[in-house]
Amino acid sequence: MLLISTVVLVRKRLLSIRYGLGWITVSLGGIAGAPLLVLLSGQARKLGFTPTGFSLGVFITFLGLLCLQLSISLSGLHNAIQDLAEHCALVEERVRGLETRGEATKDSQTVAHKESG
Amino acid sequence: MTGSNNAEVSPNPLVIIPALNEARSVSQVVSMARSLGYVVCVVDDGSTDMTAQTARSAGATVLRLPLNLGVGGALRCGFRYAVAKGYSTVVQVDGDGQHNPNDIPAMLKRMVSSDADMVIGSRFITTEHRYPVAHGRRFAMRVLAWRASRSVRAQITDATSGFRVIRAPLLGYFAADYPVEYLGDTVEALIAAGYHGARVVEHPIQMSPRRHGDSSAGVMAGVWYVVRVLLAASLMRGRSARRTSGQTLLGHDEELSASPVT
């Protein structure tokens, strides 16, 4: 289900290829890991976990790690947006200054040209 | 860190005013600061009113952020501009008219006499002029002042004051990495200054009541603010420096600094 959804979302450009590849890896890992989980559930029972509880525990831990990774990505993007916004403001002010200076030079050249003409 | 090697203050500090929808008050603050001979830079933090236009007509340089970054982001932008333009001292003033620019000369003098890296305009350092604050809020301010005092190893009475004088090299550190992630930039900046070994002193000021708009701080918001700032402060210890474009921006800004300080 996850695999199909990922492919569809990537094709519709709702999910970038970078994250799409990540989710495809997760889906394939889930498919490959399911038999392993069944094998491990016997060991888990010895530790006092039910097979369902053990599977859920693994799943929740995985989701937690995934959220952490996405938070790291989001923090990076947040920093980048803040830097870009500040950069934009500084560049806008610089362009405004250059335009003002350019207009002043143009005016003085026009006056000088008229006087010499 | 004790300011610059000599105790001189830049003869022409830059006054930075972060402003969000302050069209009704910002021009008066700009005019007052300019009448004292200071160059003023208003950082318009994504305002939806005429803040930028009003500030520009009053004679300020205006940096317009395309989106709202919060006070911390606006200040960092102002600090970057100051460093790019070669200023070694900046004065941070609120745009809502609560701070009186006439206090700036005395704060600059205080910076020189105490060889400080940062001077905070404090509402609570003397009992002469009582600034009215609700009990809950005052308690929160005391907790934050205690935390800031621990960091800077000096008595701080008004850690949330946004009226400050900052000079190099602390200004350079702030331009590269000012706390912008939370609303608690005033307190976190003090804690960051403490980590850099900066010398921080206070100077008594009088603060006027808000002319326009309401303070957004309620009781629960105040409690959450204190908890969040204290948590953030504990997370700040040992944090590595920013790896991203802070350096890049400053590097680019060196080009900008080729133009003379106006």
Q: Is A64 on the interface with B (CB under 8 A)?
A: no
pTM comes to 0.79
Of B82, B23, B8, residue with least CA distance to B55: B23
- The CA-CA-CA angle for residues A32, A73, B170, to 5°, reads 150
Chain A residues in contact with B63 (beta carbon < 8 A): 89-90, 92-93
How far is CA B81 from each of CA B15, B35, B62, B259, B261, rounded to the nearest angstrom?
11, 22, 11, 12, 11
* pLDDT of B244 higher than 50: no
Q: Which residues of A touch B258 (CB under 8 A)?
A: none
Beta carbons within 8 Å of A83's beta carbon, 6+ residues apart = B244, B245, B246, B248, B249
Q: Which residue has the higher pLDDT, A109 or A117?
A: A109
pLDDT mean over B82-106: 94
For the purposes of burial, counting CB atoms within 10 Å of the CB of A51, is it exposed (0-12), middle (13-18) or buried (19 or more)? Answer: middle
Would you say residue B5 has pLDDT above 70?
A: no
Give helix B185-195 / helix B170-177 axis angle, nearest 10°: 120
pLDDT band for position B25 (cuts 50, 70, 90): very high
pLDDT tens, A61-75?
988 998 898 899 898
Are the beta carbons of B7 and B43 closer than 8 angstroms? no
Instruction: Sort out which chain B residues have CB atoms less than 8 A from A94's CB and list them.
Output: 256
A78, closest residue in chain B (CA to CA): B181
User: Within 10 A of B57 (CB to CB), how many other CB atoms are there?
Assistant: 12
CB pairs < 8 Å spanning A and B: 55
Which residue does chain A place closest to B61, by CA atoms?
Answer: A93
Q: List pLDDT tens digits, range A15-62.
A: 888 888 888 988 888 888 888 877 887 788 888 888 888 888 888 998
